[in-house]
Amino acid sequence: MKRKVFLKTVLPLAAIPVALTSCKFKKGGFLDAVFGSNVHDNRILVLVQLQGGNDGLSTIIPLDQYTNLSAARKNILIPENKVLPLNGTSVTGFHPAMADLQNMYNRKELTFIQGVSYPNPNLSHFRATDIWLTGSDTNTVLNSGWLGRYLDKKYPGYPGGYPNAQTPEPPAIQIGNMLSGALQGKAMGLGISVINTMSFYDMVLGKQAVAQSTRAGRELDFMRMAANQTQQYTSVIKAAALAQKNLSERYPSNGKNAIADQLKIVAQLIGGGLKTKIYMVTLDGFDTHGNQANPSNTIKGRHAELLGQLSTAIAAFEDDLKLMGKHDNVLGMTFSEFGRRIHSNASNGTDHGTSGPVILFGSKLKGGFVGSNPQIEAKVKPEDNLSMQHDFRSVYASVLKGWFGLTDEELKNTLLSTCPVLDLFTSKS
């Protein structure tokens, strides 16, 4: 069943200098080799999408570049004495809104990777997001997602024959209106979406079902099969939700932290025994062209609010998993479609840029950071961008191999590229 779900257009490329750590991309379609590995089957990955393009220079602040950074973005720069220090380094710190993530870093439950991008990055939200979700090269359009290709091999023949007695749960769950392109397989999306947090609780109370992953234009019999499949998955999800209550008291109770509300659901399902492999949640609002920071008090502003929500949510989620005894089985990872420019703009914001940090969290990480602080020149032009240190597909390869146990050949068949694998996990993982 070959169904093209997305209409994709290659947009003009940005001429950005890159380092020599990119992946070798394989031209052509994806291979049909079957995975033979059963290791790490109890592992779960939670992806946190920071939608809009997160400003890495205000998230993880290069203190050794502070003088030059001051000249480039004085109207939004965090005061040096307000930057949160990190164990083991005097040259890098966190935004002051990220105190909870600072504590996780200092406990070696968090790793960040510097300078993540890809050769010739695209600065369009749509196309850049598509590249990150599919794992494509800049010049290549793919109709399947990087996790969809992984799940296609874990669930051969999907959706036919699923759910079944051996695999009663959906391969992936997204909190949102539509299943992410990252979860798109050759035939269809491998999972289901929960429209929003309210619809989840309505479903648990028997008021409403989970949203279907089907889309208009598919054959009627295929839609009926998918609808029936979704209804069966709904009962399994509901049972998991009823089997486990959230145990952490760290979740905000004011309803103003959307990402915490989403992660609270994910924790409840994991605690309830659902063996879904992949969860995806989203925090929107990172397209901070204006009012990124308050120029009279730069530790305040839209970006600070977003980072505070993210930090609080991840800490509550991790606390919940620990209390449920599920902490060691879960890895989290943030990503954003691109970073932002070095130079701030006149609207107290930043424009679309290139590389930025990826944050991973979980108990099996080695902790610390990978890479080095970005280098800032003494004189920065508005169009200048940060160089790449790590290809984003190398991060994906490191997760697939180190967390899910894929072999080198399986990695090639999933990512359609050969990428360096980063040493992120402890030997006990």
The 10s digit of each residue's pLDDT in 84-105 is: 999 999 999 999 999 999 999 9
Residue 1 reports pLDDT greater than 80: no
In this prediction the pTM is 0.89
* Per-residue model confidence as pLDDT tens digits over 267-291: 999 999 999 999 999 999 999 999 9
Percent of the chain with pLDDT over 70: 85
Q: What is the pLDDT of residue 3?
A: 34
- pLDDT bucket at 429, cuts 50 / 70 / 90: low
Q: What is the pLDDT of residue 229?
A: 67
Q: What is the pLDDT of residue 220?
A: 46
- pLDDT bucket at 428, cuts 50 / 70 / 90: low
* Per-residue model confidence as pLDDT tens digits over 9-36: 222 222 233 333 578 766 544 434 334 4
Going by their DSSP bridges, the two strands 356-361 and 172-175 should be labelled as unpaired
**Structural domains of the chain, ranges and CATH numbers in brackets:** 28-418 (3.40.720)
* Per-residue model confidence as pLDDT tens digits over 140-185: 999 999 999 999 999 999 988 899 999 999 999 999 878 999 999 9
Count of CB atoms situated within 10 Å of the CB of 76: 24
Asked which of 40-49, 102-111, 371-380 is least confident by mean pLDDT, the reply is 40-49
What are the phi and psi torsion angles at 41 (to 5°)? -70, -15
Q: What is the pLDDT of residue 218?
A: 45
